Each structure stands twice: as C-alpha cells, then as structure tokens.
Amino acid sequence: MTAMNDDIVIACVDLAGRAGASGVDIGYINAARWYAVATYRGARIIVDGHGSPTAAALALAERLLSRAKCRCTQPVTLSDARPGCRWRLVGRRWEPGCDAAPITVAAGGRGDLAAIERAMALVPPGGNRAARRKAKRRRP
Ligand SMILES: [Zn+2]
C-alpha cells in the first residue's frame, strides 16, 4: 500500500466540503495511478494519474483552489508572487489569508454549484467582514 500523508488527504476532504461538494472519492486504477474526485450535483471535478493518494489529494485541493474566488471576493492564490487572497495549508486545513465570514448557501445548496454561485454573488466586495465582527461580539 502506498504511504499516505493524512494531513493532506484530510485537508482536501475538508476543503471540498467547505467548497460545497457533496462528496470526495480518492482511489486508484493501479499502485502508480491515483485519482481524486469531488462530486457536485450534476458535476464532478477530477484529477487523475497521480503517484500516491497524497499527490492526488493535493492536486484536487489545488484544482479546487485555482480559479476559485475566496469568500472575501478576491481570487484565491497559492503563490506570494500572484495577487489575490493567499491560501495556505495549515496542518489539516486549508486557510484563507483573510478573516471574511463564511458564505452561507441556502438550504439544499450543498453540491449545487449554481446555488453556491448565487450565494457568492450576494457577498459585498471585501467579504462579509461586518457580519464576522458581529458574530465575534456575540460570543461570550
Ligand atoms: Zn479571502
């Protein structure tokens, strides 16, 4: 069995869940060919041909983050050399570089890319910072 980096695989599954996917599958065709699939309603995002489950999970996370828009409304970047909201893998979690509040997708929206896009369209430029501050104040 190919060795697996649990943190990277867990971070990928967590990220896909936060990105609205209804499921993630990581599997193999043979020992040298691993794939990872994020499932949305009526759509799948697939990476294939990786040498290990870790590599497939990392590739899927990068695929989900590339071309993604952060909840602060900036494009996500994984490089200091590129503009946007700088995301990093921190332990078992992909973390944004901003403190914008999470986007709420209407009930039933999980896995529904159109519902997720509608929710994103309602976010003001810079993200829901005011809502986040309010939520922090409410906590004891
Ligand atoms: Zn951001």
Q: Could you give the CA distance from residue 59 to residue 61 in angstroms, rounded to a whole number?
A: 5
Asked whether 37 and 46 are in contact (CB, 8 A), the reply is: yes
Predicted pLDDT of residue 112:
74
pTM: 0.78
- CA atoms lying within 13 Å on the CB side of residue 48: 5
What is the pLDDT, as a whole number, of residue 28? 93
pLDDT for the residue 24: 94
Rounded to an integer, what distance in angstroms lies between the CA atom of residue 68 and that of residue 96? Answer: 12
80 C-alpha to ligand 1 centroid (Å): 14
Residues of the chain with pLDDT under 50: none
List the shell of residues around ion ligand 1, using CB closer than 5 Å: 70, 72, 85, 96, 98
| pLDDT number for residue 106 | 66
How many angstroms does the Cα of residue 89 sit away from the middle of ligand 1?
Answer: 14
Write down the pLDDT at residue 78: 96
| Token pair in block for residue 114 | 């159109």
25, two tokens? 């599958």
* Ligand 1 center from residue 12 Cα (angstroms): 18
For residue 11 the two structure tokens come to: 């971070």
Q: How far is ligand 1, taken at its centre, from the CA of residue 133, in Å?
A: 15
pLDDT at 4: 85
Q: What is the reported pLDDT for 128?
A: 66
